Amino acid sequence: MRIFVTAAGGTEKALKEELRELGYRRLQGQRGGVWLSGNREVAARICLHSRVAVRVLAELGRFACPDEDALYRGVQGLEWARWLTPERSLAVTSVARSSGLTHTQYIAQKTKDAIVDAQRVAHGRRSSVDRNDPDVAVFVHLEKNEAGVFLDASGRSLHLRGWRTEATEAPLKETLAAAMVRLGGWDRETPLFDPMCGSGTLVIEADLMARRVPTHPRAHRFGFERWADYDAEAAAAIDALREEAHAGARATGPRCAGADIDPEAVDIARRNAERAGAQARFSEAALGALRLEGPHHVLSNPPYGQRLEADAAFWEALRGAMRRNPECTFSLLLPEEGAPRDLGERRAVRAHPLFNGRIRCRLVTWSSMKT
């Protein structure tokens, strides 16, 4: 089975690195994610361990698709009975680029029709449609008149970890936070600090990553666990993988902490950390007061909106923080326009393009002055 693991724009490199750490070698990266070969157990391990992945898609088939008739025939020619029985609900989504068929809602509708028509022939009845919580989620990717049809093995988007029930304004998605931890170059040993922590997502993700805590709690069920072929034998194998993942979590890890000038944000971060089982610590403090003991990796997503480039007070506070903490490496997610590469005596060593929602950003890293 071919598997496509999706990632947010700009985080593909972090995802590929993460999959290598999980032991996978034959990886093919492209815009939007990474390809690999595997089975249900591979999909399960990625769902359990990948903090950067957004979805895990299992490819059912691929065929030429110049028009709607080709789409209908191609979908009907796939093996649906193994995955989807009439008792299970269904949902279809699609994307289309550079193809004769361009209307994604129509593509999804035609795909659904082909599936349920095949069910009627085979069983005399069909699956119902549930767009909010389907048992089987089908995804169609149409590009240059070639269709790829996938099952979503992850179910809900993997950024939904289950612990962030409270958030401050414009919080980072957990998957983007995990990618920042990797792309910023943190070694997972040096203490990590976020001086503008908001609801604590970066610090919590860093702590859980360093301690190898699985992405979701034991009770969470992924999409593949609702497919028709998920029998007792499959469930036993996945339960063993789940237990192995949780047993492999480390009891302790490097110090991960954060601060924010807003006391309400600090309270939210503390509650989120407790729900996540993170050892992260949070306190109330301003960036201008940042003074850390010894080397740290300072990683943060400043509350910039889209106008940080005009905030002279912020840049002055950041320069001061860098002067007071020469042993620290700084990695900040900044808007693409207006963010200086040089801050005082420091020069940025790398800048990785990312998207925070629809905002084009760069994760800029300044090395310590002691290296």
**Which structure tokens are listed for 246?**
């949780």
Residue 74 or residue 339, greater confidence: 74
Residue 302 lies in a domain: yes
pLDDT tens digits along 171-207? 899 999 999 999 999 999 999 999 999 999 999 999 9
80 and 205 inside one domain: no
**Which structure tokens are listed for 169?**
């304004």
**Residue 1 clears pLDDT 50, i.e. is over it:** yes
**Residue 349 clears pLDDT 90, i.e. is over it:** no
209 and 316 inside one domain: yes
% of residues, the chain, pLDDT over 90: 86
With cut-offs at 50, 70 and 90, classify the pLDDT of residue 70.
Answer: very high
Calpha distance 88→306 (Å, rounded): 44
**What is the count of structural domains for the chain?**
2
Residue 228 lies in a domain: no
Say whether 4 sits in a helix, a strand or coil. strand
112 and 44 inside one domain: yes
Kindly state the average pLDDT of the residues 66-77. Answer: 98
Q: What is the CATH number of the domain that holds 353?
A: 3.40.50.150
Q: What is the CATH number of the domain that holds 25?
A: 3.30.2130.30
Residue 279 lies in a domain: yes
Minimum mean pLDDT range among 57-66, 118-127, 354-363: 354-363
The answer to whether 298 and 256 are in contact (CB under 8 A) is: no
- Strand pairing category for 28-30 and 55-64: unpaired
306 and 357 inside one domain: yes
Say whether 365 sits in a helix, a strand or coil. strand
| Domain range for 108 | 2-152
Calpha distance 189→255 (Å, rounded): 8
Calpha distance 228→204 (Å, rounded): 36
**Residue 306 clears pLDDT 50, i.e. is over it:** no
pLDDT tens digits along 112-160? 999 999 999 999 999 999 999 999 999 999 999 999 999 999 999 999 9
9 and 122 inside one domain: yes
Residue 371 lies in a domain: no
182 and 144 inside one domain: no
Residue 159 lies in a domain: no
Residue 225 lies in a domain: no
pLDDT for residue 309: 52
Kindly state the average pLDDT of the residues 16-36. Answer: 97
**Which structure tokens are listed for 264?**
């309400």
**Residue 40 clears pLDDT 80, i.e. is over it:** yes
Say whether 199 sits in a helix, a strand or coil. coil
The answer to whether 359 and 10 are in contact (CB under 8 A) is: no
**Residue 345 clears pLDDT 80, i.e. is over it:** no
281 and 144 inside one domain: no
182 and 293 inside one domain: yes
Say whether 359 sits in a helix, a strand or coil. strand
> Residue 193, CB half-sphere, CA atoms under 13 Å: how many?
24
Query: Cβ-count burial of 331 within 10 angstroms (0-12 exposed, 13-18 middle, 19+ buried)?
Result: buried
Question: In the chain, which residue ranges form alpha helices assigned H by DSSP?
Answer: 12-21, 40-49, 68-76, 104-123, 174-183, 201-210, 232-247, 263-276, 312-324
Backbone angles phi, psi at 343, to 5 degrees: -130, 105
Residue 169 or residue 213, greater confidence: 213
85 and 188 inside one domain: no
Residue 169 lies in a domain: no
Kindly state the average pLDDT of the residues 55-72. Answer: 98
Calpha distance 52→151 (Å, rounded): 19
Calpha distance 108→129 (Å, rounded): 12
Q: Considering the chain, what is the average pLDDT of its residues?
A: 94
284 and 348 inside one domain: yes
Q: Nearest-5° angle of CA 134, CA 138, CA 139?
A: 130
**Residue 74 clears pLDDT 90, i.e. is over it:** yes
Select from 69, 71, 74, 32 the least CA-distant residue to 54: 32
95 and 194 inside one domain: no
Select from 89, 93, 82 the least CA-distant residue to 122: 82
If you search the block for the tokens 């990474």, which residue do you land on? Answer: 34
**Residue 329 clears pLDDT 90, i.e. is over it:** yes
**Residue 67 clears pLDDT 50, i.e. is over it:** yes
**Which structure tokens are listed for 269?**
């971060």
81 and 185 inside one domain: no
pLDDT for residue 339: 66
If you search the block for the tokens 């940080």, which residue do you land on? Answer: 308
pLDDT for residue 359: 86
pLDDT for residue 168: 79
Residue 306 or residue 342, greater confidence: 342
Query: How many other CB atoms are there within 10 angstroms of residue 358's CB atom?
Result: 6
Q: Nearest-5° angle of CA 344, CA 346, CA 349?
A: 145
Minimum mean pLDDT range among 196-200, 233-237, 270-274, 354-358: 354-358
Q: Report CA 41 to chain centroid distance, whole Å.
A: 19
**Residue 268 clears pLDDT 50, i.e. is over it:** yes
Residue 239 lies in a domain: no
**Residue 304 clears pLDDT 80, i.e. is over it:** no
Query: Cβ-count burial of 278 within 10 angstroms (0-12 exposed, 13-18 middle, 19+ buried)?
Result: buried
**Residue 310 clears pLDDT 60, i.e. is over it:** no
**Residue 245 clears pLDDT 90, i.e. is over it:** yes
Q: Which residues contact 296 (CB under 8 A, 6 or more apart)?
A: 190, 191, 192, 193, 325, 327, 328, 329
